[in-house]
Chains A and B, each alone.
Chain A
Amino acid sequence: MTNKFDINNTFDPDKEDQAPKISKEITTKLPTAAKGVDHYLRRTDTDPKAARRAEIQVATLFGASSFFTLVFLVSFVAIPREKKIAVSLIGVTGGQNLVLGVSFGFAILLIGIGAIHWAKKLMSDVEVVQERKEIKPADDVQQEALDAFRVGAEESGIGQRKLIRRSLLGALALFPLPFVVMLRDLGPSPKGELRETAWEEDLHIVTDITYQKIRPEDIPVGNLVSAMPENILEIQEEEQNLNERGKSAILLVRMRPEEIKSQQGPDWDYQGIVAYSKICTHVGCPIALYEQRTHHLLCPCHQSTFDLADSGQPIFGPAARRLPQLAITVDEEGYLIARQGFQEPVGPSFWERGA
């Protein structure tokens, strides 16, 4: 076969068309005979004064390191925790962190600089050559190793005694199972919680910081309010986690009723106030950047953009689904309430979500 070729590591001077590594004929003709590695004497090699200077420099660096360690120890006790120091370029900063860090930093750094200065100026800088041993052991060593293995295997009889071999393999295959099974209680089985939120009919809409009920007139046109269902704190208290907050968060936006191009249900707004899930349908970041003029809502994580005047449809970015809308109205006292729960799962996609 012609397309097989033989590559040797060594250069064969008889083969002219082969790449020369370092041709002896060339190197001997060069101005200085190539012994291989060049070596130049340093100042510190020839001048004892320079060597002495270098020695003092190294010792000074190490000495300065000790000094900085002492500075650290003293400032650890001496600088009060709340002390603030103003430094140009970095501004006001915790004084303790600054002094402790700088002293510790120099204590460490100077050891390193000292050691390298020592190596470069005073330690022998003659490069040395070491031959590489072949990584692959000699054939007979390989054979001996394999033989040892074979003898061992034969002595155990694992080859002939099929019963033992198979039962052992079976046992070894089964015994990790308990470890796998014990992982079962890492989490509960999903029971459709991803589809549900706390929202239901007649639930008051409250602000997400002061938990006050909201009247339509509290929201001027063009404003955006982050809101929660009124029972959110009770749920949090009961479940001892923030799961519901991550699903029930909504945004209220008021626009002029004629600006609303479409909604997810007939008259799901109240006097131009629309309520949409605050959780992005891409990977679930809370969405918060609202552009008044266009009614676009931008997710700060991956810039999915939704048009709140047009059913919350995604108009840009990686999100593929609209933001679910919450139908709202007011109760007899004039506070905003939900007319019903969300009609589709909020938040990011999941396999069982369906349409």
Chain B
Amino acid sequence: MSNTTTSKKTPAAYNYVDSRVGFSAALKRNLRKVFPDHWSFMLGEIALYSFIILLLTGTFLTLWYKPSMTEVIYNGSYIPLKGIPMSEAYASTLEISFDVRGGMLLRQIHHWAALFFIAAMVVHLLRVFFTGAFRKPREFNWLLGLALLTLGLLAGFSGYSLPDDLLSGIGLKIASGIIQAIPVIGTWALYFLFGGEFPGTEIIPRLYSIHILLIPGAILALVTAHLLLVWTQKHTQYPGPGRTEKNVVGYPLLPVYTAKAGGFFFIVFGVTTLLGALVAINPIWLYGPFTPDQVTAGSQPDWYIGFLEGSLRVMPAIEFNIFNTWTFSPNILIPALILPGLMFVLMGAYPFIESWITGDKREHNLLDRPRNAPTRTALGTMSLTFYILLWIGGGNDIIATTFNLSINSITYFMRVALIALPPLVFIATKRICLGLQRKDLEMLLHGKETGRILRLPDGGFVEVHQPVSEAELPKLLARETYPVWELPQKVDANGIKTPHYHRQMLKARISAWWTKGDLPIPSAKEIQAGQHHAYEALEQASEFGVKPGKEEIVSATNH
């Protein structure tokens, strides 16, 4: 075999390029690189592919879009707006929608892809969080991912504003209101960003250069770094047969992974295109051109801004006057700037906080099952609850009109729920995780229950248990516990003060909280004993003429 391959002639074209680029060594190493297969690993792919779709369709849109706030009188083919004064930006968006063949399609694909881009990033982030994929050696990639999410949000918001329609203009007005509320520099920041007061004539051209140059350039650079790290560190994998911390089990890059990942790109693109063809999105011609003295009722931002909209809506009206000279507005600053800032800082710090609490500095390539890290999982669902509540709060007007509820009651409910619900969700999640762990433990020590009871000739009953299959066993064995840090002594036996006493105290307390309720890990001996016992019982049962199924063993219990 190897003889035939080596003796084959090198194709001339390959030789031509290789003698100038010298890529054979890299190809040899990488073409059969192994990637593990799991549906949840496709989430990041969706984000990547959506980004490529955005670059493609976005480039086309720039060919016709005019980033200008100069007033023109519309004279295109959309009759209802004929003769109406509007910005060139809005008019050119109408032109793309109604006068450029395929233009509407490009706009709609672009907008759908933007929604998917951010949604896929968020769900990917949740997958990475709940499976502990952010642990060493992947902390940098976690931070890169957060930066990408931030950039994605900015890209979304800046692009959303470009058509200069009434709906997106209101979004910009809100942004300007937030900026001018910043203490000390707010007015200056507003004037610098908008080139004077809102709306001015600068913001659309500026957002345009931010949207098509700065942000995509930064995203491209960070995505490259993100993928390079995935490449060199190799992908994580779920515990399973043959999978260890030191290997990676899956399909080779060529051909299977190429076909699957490449094919998946076309599927994401195809679905986005079909949505663009069939489901109208952001019909700016219905909203009309922007003017700062009008508004549409029930105005909603794109989904990813919803949590900020909700936090602004739910926040109570707190504002201070300082010496009658300065105005300080926590009612704007807390929900719009401090809260999202805090959310991102906490997310960024999380991998380091967790490893500080557990003391775990090892490399992890096998993913955690969420149940096996109960406190982390509970913190995750708790934060997610907070986020979703904010998001629901952002649609309080839609909820009120749809379900005929009082908007005031919804808002008051949200204010309470945002504080009360997350801790409850924390407790519930932790209990569920520990419950699931108990079930796993039960399976390890006694096998799976089948519900079959056999009566033996001597009158005894035995319960038939199915053994844990080979495929399941590694999953069940993957759980670990972390030791609790001991409470430090203030002064040791020799009367010397413990250094960093308070820090150690804090660490010990947090560690106790972190590991609270952890189930003991069964020793290898215990598991083996269980298995031996089961096999003995199986033999015993067969002596009585009971023929258990191929995959059944009989658990020892004689009732």
Contact = CB atoms under 8 A, between A and B. Distances in A.
Interface of A: 2-5, 7-9, 13, 16-23, 25-27, 29-32, 34-38, 76, 81-82, 90, 93-94, 96-98, 100-102, 104-116, 118-119, 123-125, 127-132, 135, 183, 186-190, 193-194, 208, 226, 228, 240-243, 245-247, 249, 278, 282-289, 300-304, 314, 316-321, 347-355
A319 B192 CA distance: 25
A186 B191 CA distance: 8
Contacts of B523: 16-18, 20
Contact of A300 (B268, B276, B299, B321): B299
Given A3-B504, A16-B523, A96-B104, 5 more contacts: A17-B521, A22-B477, A34-B242, A101-B109, A119-B263
Contact of B249 (A119, A128, A246, A354): A128
A348 B180 contact: yes
A97 to B, nearest CB: 4
B196 interface: yes
Most buried by B among A30, A190, A249: A190
B216 interface: no
A242 B242 contact: no
A243 B198 contact: yes
Given A119-B263, A316-B408, A349 B298 contact: no
Contacts, number: 391
B332 A31 contact: no
Nearest to A68: B270
A121 to B, nearest CB: 11
A100 B101 contact: yes
Contacts of A97: 102, 104-105, 108, 277
B23 interface: no
A27 B267 contact: no
B196 A320 contact: no
Nearest to A81: B101
Given A20-B477, A135-B232, A301 B521 contact: no
Contacts of B504: 3
B321 A355 contact: yes
9 contacts: A19-B481, A105-B274, A119-B259, A285-B174, A300-B297, A301-B174, A317-B317, A320-B318, A355-B321
B327 A354 contact: yes
Contacts of A119: 255-256, 259-260, 263
Contacts of B524: 13, 16, 20, 23, 25-26
B326 interface: yes
Contacts of A129: 34, 242, 247-249
B259 A118 contact: yes
Given A30-B467, A243-B197, A301-B299, A278 B318 contact: no
B15 interface: no
B228 interface: no
B508 interface: yes
B293 A245 contact: yes
A301 B295 contact: yes
A27 B299 contact: no
Interface stretch (B5-13, B358-366, B381-389): B358-366
Contacts of A38: 241, 470-471
A132 B173 contact: no
A26 B270 CA distance: 48
